[in-house]
Amino acid sequence: MELLAPDVTLWTDGGGKVRATMLRPVQGRTKVARHIANVARQRSLEEVEIRHRTVNGDPSAVLFADDAPFAVMVLDLDGDQVSNIYAVTNPEKLPKDEQPGG
């Protein structure tokens, strides 16, 4: 929780294809953490691989399941805290050629 700024905002983009996305941004440390935890519960941690990348110059995490990316989370940092999270889960916007472990 300390990594999230008190006024952190989570923006999601599922392109209408992913149920876990929100139509409006989620604001506040507790609400953002709760949303991420709820989405994480939908998948077993054993089947998810997280690869750290830089996306458009920002620190990011690419999440893989079944050898394919299912989400990209781009983080805006304000000092040592995350001020914004942009989660892209729309399959049409995710890289198709990246492999886990690569």
How confident is the model over 79-101, as pLDDT tens digits? 999 999 998 887 777 766 555 44
Q: Would residue 37 count as lying in a domain?
A: yes
pTM reported for the whole predicted model: 0.76
CA Rg value for the chain: 13
* Residue 98 domain flag: no
Whole domain around residue 35: which residue ranges?
4-93
Whether 70 contacts 89, CB under 8 Å = yes
The CATH number of whichever domain residue 26 belongs to comes to 3.10.450.50
The stretches in the chain having pLDDT less than 50 are 100-102
Q: Is residue 102 part of a domain?
A: no
From the CB of residue 39, how many other CB atoms can be counted at a distance below 10 Å? 18
